[in-house]
Chain A
Amino acid sequence: MQERVKGPQFDIVGTRPVRPDGADKVTGRAKYGADHRVAGQLVGKVLRSPYAHARIRSIDVSAAAKLPGVKAIITSADFQEQPSEFVPAGEMLVNYRDVLRNVMAREKVLFEGHPVAAVAATSESIARAALKLIKVDYEVLPHVIDVVEAMKPDAPVVDETIITAGVTPPPTKPSNVAKRVEFVLGDIEKGFKEADLVIEREFNTQPVHQGYIEPHACIATVSEDGTAELWTTTQGHWVARAHCARLLGWDITKLRVTSSEIGGGFGGKTVVYLEPVALALSAKTHRPVKMVMSREEVFKASGPTSGANVWVKMGVKKDGTITAGEAVLKYQAGCFQGSPVQPGCMCAFAPYDLANVKVVGFDVLSNRPKVAAYRAPGGPISEYAVESVVDEIAEKLGMCPIELRLKNAAKEGTKAAYGPKFGPIGMVECLEAAKSSPHWNGPLGKNQGRGIAAGFWFNIGGETTVNLQLNEDGTVTLMAGTPDIGGLRASLAMMAAEELKIPYEKVRPIIGDTATLGYNFVTGGSRSTFSSGLATVEAARSIIKQACGRAAKLWEIPEDAVTWEDGEIRPAGDNAGKFKAMKLADIAKVAGKTGGALVGVGAISAQGAAPSFGVHIADTEVDPDTGKLTVTRYTVIQDAGIAIHPSYVEGQFQGGAAQGIGWALNEEYIYDDKGRLQNAGFLDYRIPVASDLPMIETIIVEVPNPRHPYGVRGIGETAIVPPMAAVNASARRATGVRMFELPLSPPKVLKAMKGGKSA
């Protein structure tokens, strides 16, 4: 581990101080979603559908309501209908008709685990007993799980209101295809004509869960006067507030939401599940209601990302110039429209500078839980398929896969198929770093193979507020509103300390609640260090400006005769040396006398987010008798812009790779013939455990983002994009066969090896 990634450009940025939230997390003092307790709290439990698809004829709660200890029962009748319209909620569109139905089923249950009623009772055992007393009369309907099956004309229709959008003329009949999208650049027919080699392949991937260790949990309390508080584990408490207020028909100001420490989210905690239910139960009883999902509920009823069927065709000249890229992506949305197929389309060929591209995507409903964002939503699926074809091209041309990618790599000025021209980006730098890495040039053992793959993710900015207070003793309190998932508080404190020229330890960063700070969009889109960092810098510069004003007042000289240099406020120009320079701490002491507290606010809609490219190298070893693949060495190379805290950048790289390796090797949803999930737990939904992985090596590439004062790019998501293709490419060399389906689980690999199925 390098002390710094590069030479010391800055005093604090780029170093590795201890994280401010570390001690409490290590000792267990930190409060996660389920750790909050309030006097008099009730236990809330959800009754869930045992069927994948059924019409609800009636719900009878009378017997449950009579059970002593049951304080409230709610069903969909307790929520007002929402119109079907897409409204912007940050970067995403939300249809509250669907959000409402996801929280509590109305006409139909659409997946096994779909909530149909909820109970608040004085104990968990009473709540469970009450659920058993609720009688739901179901008319079981045919269901569909598989994405290709769901697109067939005779498939059971999940939502009868869906008419495929993006098709002219519009279809007359409802289907499971909610949307068709298309991105075109140049002329693919011309491109394929220029090609010496054309490869066409079909891939299948499984839906995978974010696998956060902390289950969804919240506690809600609604007062007799209609004001309410909600503590919840979330990636965005302002967004949770908006969703809850909308579903409950409340003014936003009545609801105050506090985010707990969060035990992983990866996109999956940008959605409300329990929160509106807990609030509705509390509104009926005026007692606090606590709800915690079991692991089984997390798997059955919270969002995975899509499984997909992806077809890719690429043309290439003998010299390795890619002449055309075409893809068709069919993404599972779950039971409501809104799969990440659009970003999937946009990412598919993004690492390359291509003249001719066509990508078509379909958003497809089936009787599964509605998908939720998962780390670079959509990108890993399409890029797995494209990168696997790129690897095959390299093999067929007898070209080094790095050289092939270098020949076609996107650079500053490349026009991406989805529209924009890239600014300074690090794709070439990552490939060069990979080429000279110890791993790429290291030895391989028996039954081992090495693969490489690239990845891309956009990253976003968005609405962000940070509040800085200069305390009386010169220390600083920093309040941000993007929940800290991956070391945000450390990174923001470092940027504040760098700006204010005070020690890192003098800044105390916290995450504020929705009543104490201006609006913040979710922690997502790899935006929190970028956006809250920008807001922090703005707030810090405001404090400096205010402090300079106070000094001018004290010295009785014009404000423009005061400068900020080397962490000191100094008289400048004609007044230079006439007054003793002051530090922020000196101003803090006299704040009361000079005009009151010094508070800096950065309230922005962050612009200028820059994409991050990454390249991963994977070595796998196959047990030829059992087909079991083991990742023996793994390196993540990624452009971070500038790494504020390199340890947390490396942690994100490693975490993304670990999740991607799980996606590649073992993770999948297994349904029975009735559409019931068979592996709703970590025992049989196999995320990697620590001993499954080698120490994941990291190389931080730094191509600064010119639109950020410290050069920050978002880095959290790109790291999950390349692993599936990198592992697939390495498996091809370890096993001798090329495979087109995830996960690469032992039965499949052994079968492929025995069949000698190869491209």
Chain B
Amino acid sequence: MRYESPDTLEAAAKMLAAESGDARVLAGGTDLLVQIRSEILSPALVVDIKKIAETRTVSEEKGGFRIGAAVAGAELKEHAKLKKAWPGLVEAANLIGSTQVQGRCSLGGNLCNGSPAADSVPALIAAGAVASIVGPNGRRELKVEDVMLAPRKLALTKGEIIASFFLPARPAHASDAYLRFIPRTEMDIAVVGCAVSLVLDASGTCTAARVGLGAVAARPLLVEDAGKALVGTKVDEAALEKAAAAARAACKPIDDKRGTIEFRTDVAGVLTKRTALIALERARKA
């Protein structure tokens, strides 16, 4: 196995594209290294992108934020302005693994690992985040909800790397939240994950809403109907019930070691309501 740590995205993309065997991008490594050690993967090339400035930086851009794909969860938590604007996203990123893992794990890695249960992905989807992708043929942008296609399958072509995510500017009275269901209290994988991002007007009426769901289908979902159910309402019980029904309707889960179809579908609705209420409370104060 070859290890490279180039300084530029272009160089990294070139190396990945040139490798005839399995080539992998290393950010925090909290999934990749585990998969290599347990012989699930044995890549010929590992390209570490942490020496590339863009992947390791959080910066303000057009009133919003650009977050490097390899910025660690713990670093996001320490970024006061980001945390104020996107508390849900930051808390989702900080539910991944343990305290030690949070010192390494990244949004880029969490998405590109290709797990439907990734915690930060529903939050990125609810946030309307756009991935900035660099490949051998240059740079392109892709909405986060379009990046993952199926378990372990991404809409990235050979040599492409997610360099960063752009989060749009936040108006007043906007916030987000993320909740997941796990049988324990920590150190676990979401059985269902739910993120809600809300914007309210001065009167408290919801003017925009996005709902992201994880672990209930082959890939994390943007549930547009759940968002629509909240827009134009005061996010009251009736609207929440409608959003929960939309979330349940969007679920296409499987029975596996972490939960049943019935349970996941039920809990997706429960979490949609609970998450929306937290986002609402935060948006009122924002």
Q: Which residues of A contact B191 (CB under 8 A)?
A: 746
On whether the beta carbons of A746 and B186 are closer than 8 Å, the reply is no
From the candidates A665, A682, A686, A746, name the one contacting B263 in the complex (CB within 8 A). Answer: A746
Q: How far is the CA of A751 from the CA of B261 in the complex (A)?
A: 12
B260 pairs with A747, CB closer than 8 A = yes
Shortest distance from the beta carbon of B270 to any chain A beta carbon, whole Å: 4
Are A683 and B188 touching (Cβ within 8 A)? yes
Which residues on A sit within 8 Å (CB–CB) of B257?
670, 678-679, 684
- Residue contact B263 to A689, C-beta cutoff 8 Å: no
Known: A296-B38, A679-B257. A747 touches B184 (CB 8 A): no
Within 8 A of B (CB), among A235-270: none
Q: Once bound together, how far apart are the Cα atoms of A683 and B98, in whole Å?
A: 11
B31 to chain A minimum Cβ distance, whole angstroms, is: 12
Q: Does A628 contact B (CB under 8 A)?
A: yes
| 19 A-B contacts (beta carbon < 8 Å) | A626-B267, A665-B183, A670-B257, A678-B256, A679-B257, A683-B187, A683-B189, A686-B183, A686-B184, A691-B184, A691-B186, A692-B184, A746-B263, A747-B259, A747-B260, A747-B262, A750-B263, A751-B262, A751-B263
- Is the C-beta of A122 less than 8 angstroms from some C-beta in chain B? no
Chain A 741-752 interface mask (CB, 8 Å, partner B; 1/0): 000011100110
Bound CA span A751–B266, Å: 10
Cα–Cα distance between A296 and B37 once the two chains are bound (Å):
12
Is there a chain A Cβ closer than 8 Å to B39's Cβ? yes
A338-372 interface bits toward B, Cβ cutoff 8 Å, 1 = contact, 0 = none: 00000000000000000000000000000000000
Contact A692 B185 (CB under 8 A): yes
Write out the residue numbers on chain A whose beta carbons fall within 8 Å of the beta carbon of B284.
none
Most B CB atoms within 10 A — which of A128, A627, A666, A747?
A: A747
Q: Which residues of B are found within 8 Å of A294, using beta-carbon distances? A: 38
Residues B263 and A747 in contact, CB atoms below 8 Å apart: yes
Interface residues of A in 618-653 (CB under 8 A from B): 625-628
Which residue of A has the minimal Cβ distance to B37? A294
Determine whether the beta carbon of A625 is less than 8 Å from that of B270.
yes
- Say yes or no: A689-B186 contact (C-beta < 8 A), given A128-B39, A626-B270, A750-B266: yes
Smallest beta-carbon distance A700→chain B, Å: 29
Report whether A689 and B187 are in contact in the complex, using a CB–CB cutoff of 8 Å: yes
Q: Which of A678, A683, A691 has the most CB of B within 10 A?
A: A683
Residue of B259, B262, B266 with most chain A CB atoms under a 10 A cut-off: B266
A711 within 8 A of B: no
Q: Are B183 and A691 in contact (CB under 8 A)?
A: no
Provide the bound-state CA to CA distance between A753 and B170, in Å. Answer: 42
Residue in B38, B181, B184 whose CB lies within 8 Å of A666: B184
A626: B residues at CB distance < 8 A:
181, 266-267, 270
Best-surrounded residue of A296, A628, A688, A751 (most CB of chain B within 10 A): A628
The reply on B258 being an interface residue by CB < 8 A is yes
Q: In chain A, what residue has the closest Cβ to B260?
A: A747
A-facing residues in B50-96 (Cβ within 8 Å): none
Chain B residues whose C-beta falls within 8 Å of the C-beta of A682 in the assembled complex: 187
Contacts of A670 in B (CB 8 A): 257
Which partner residue on chain A sits nearest B271 by CB separation?
A: A626
- Tell me the smallest distance from the CB of A721 to a CB of chain B, in Å: 23
Q: Which residues from chain B contact A296 at a C-beta distance below 8 Å?
A: 38
Given contacts A689-B186, A691-B184, A746-B263, 13 further A-B contacts (CB under 8 A): A294-B38, A625-B270, A626-B266, A665-B183, A666-B184, A670-B257, A678-B257, A682-B187, A684-B257, A689-B184, A689-B185, A692-B185, A747-B259
- Point out residues on A near B: beta carbons under 8 Å: 128, 294, 296, 625-628, 665-666, 670, 678-679, 682-684, 686, 688-689, 691-692, 745-747, 750-751
* Binary contact track B3-37/A, C-beta < 8 Å → 1, others 0: 00000000000000000000000000000000000
A689 to B183, CA, bound (A): 11
Decide: A746 near B183, CB < 8 A? Known: A625-B270, A678-B257, A684-B257.
yes
Complex Cα spacing A670 to B270, Å: 26
Shortest C-beta distance, B245 to chain A (Å), equals 15
Complex contacts, A666 vs chain B, CB 8 Å: 183-184
Residues of B within 8 A of A691 (CB): 184-186
Expressed in whole angstroms, the Cα–Cα distance for A691 and B187 within the complex equals 10
Chain A residues, CB < 8 A from B38: 294, 296
What residues of A have a CB within 8 angstroms of the CB of B266 in the complex? Answer: 626, 750
Taking CB atoms, residues of chain A closer than 8 Å to B39 are 128
Complex Cα gap A627–B188 (Å): 17
Q: Count of B residues near A, CB < 8 Å?
A: 21
Cα of A747 to Cα of B263 in the assembled complex, Å:
6
| Complex CA–CA separation, A61 to B263 (angstroms) | 48
A686 touching B186 in the complex, CB below 8 Å, given contacts A750-B266, A751-B262: no
Q: Could you say which residues of chain A place their CB within 8 Å of the CB of B270?
A: 625-626
List which B173-225 residues lie within 8 A (CB) of chain A. Answer: 181, 183-189, 191
Chain A CB within 10 Å — which of B39, B183, B266, B267 has the most?
B183
- CA of A625 to CA of B273, assembled, Å: 11
Shortest distance in angstroms between A132's beta carbon and chain B's nearest beta carbon? 9
Give bound CA distance, A627 to B181, whole Å. Answer: 11
Q: Considering the chains assembled together, what is the distance between the CA atoms of A684 and B256 in angstroms? A: 11
CB distance from A139 to the nearest CB of B (A): 26
How long is the Cα–Cα vector from A646 to B263 in the complex, in angstroms? 44
Residues of B contacting A678 with CB < 8 Å? 256-257
- B187 neighbours in A (Cβ, 8 Å): 682-683, 689
Nearest CB in chain A: distance from B240 CB, A:
13
In the bound assembly, the distance between CA atoms of A76 and B58 in angstroms comes to 59
| Binary contact track B105-144/A, C-beta < 8 Å → 1, others 0 | 0000000000000000000000000000000000000000
Contacts of B189 in A (CB 8 A): 683-684
- Give Cα A405 to B188, complex, Å: 39
In the complex the two chains form, what is the Cα distance from A627 to B270 in whole Å? 11
CA distance A688 to B187 in the complex (A): 10
Residues of A contacting B259 with CB < 8 Å?
Answer: 746-747
Output the nearest chain A residue to B256 by Cβ-Cβ distance.
Answer: A678
Question: Nearest B residue to A684 by beta-carbon distance?
Answer: B257
Interfacial chain B residues near A745, Cβ < 8 Å: 183
What is the CA–CA distance of A686 and B39 in the complex, to the nearest angstrom?
Answer: 23
Q: How far is the CA of A745 from the CA of B39 in the complex (A)?
A: 31
CB distance from A634 to the nearest CB of B (A): 15
A746 CB contacts on chain B under 8 angstroms: 181, 183, 191, 259, 263
Task: Name B192's closest neighbour in chain A (CB-CB).
Answer: A626
For the complex of A and B, 6 pairs with smallest distance between CB atoms: A747-B263, A691-B185, A625-B270, A670-B257, A678-B257, A747-B260
Contacts of B181 in A (CB 8 A): 626, 628, 746
Residues of A within 8 A of B188 (CB): 683, 686
B229-241: CB near A (< 8 Å → 1, else 0) gives 0000000000000
State A746–B260 Cα separation when bound (angstroms): 10
Distance between Cα atoms of A682 and B39 in the complex (Å)? 18
Chain B residue numbers with a CB within 8 Å of A686 are 183-184, 188
Complex Cα–Cα for A665 and B185 (A): 13
Closest residue of chain B to A296 (Cβ to Cβ) is B38
**A750 contacts which chain B residues (CB < 8 A)?**
263, 266
Partner of A688, one of B184, B260, B263: B184
How far is B183's CA from A692's CA once the two chains are assembled, in angstroms? 9
- Closest B residue to A679 using CB positions: B257
Q: Known interface pairs A296-B38, A747-B263, A750-B266. Does A684 touch B258 (Cβ–Cβ under 8 Å)?
A: yes
Chain A residues contacting B260 (CB-CB under 8 Å) are: 747
Give the CA-CA distance A688 to B184 in the complex, in Å.
7
Bound-state Cα–Cα, A101 to B259, Å: 36
Measured between beta carbons, the chain B residues less than 8 angstroms from A684 are 189, 257-258
| Shortest Cβ distance from B269 into A: residue | A625
Closest residue of chain A to B266 (Cβ to Cβ) is A750
Chain A residue at smallest Cβ distance from B255:
A747
Residues of B within 8 A of A665 (CB): 183
Q: State in angstroms the CA–CA spacing of A688 and B185 once bound together.
A: 9
The answer to whether A628 and B183 touch across the interface, beta carbons within 8 angstroms, is: yes
Interface residues of B in 266-282 (CB under 8 A from A): 266-267, 270
A727 to chain B: closest CB distance in Å? 14
Task: Please give, as numbers and ranges, the residues of chain A lying within 8 Å of B186 by CB-CB distance.
Answer: 689, 691
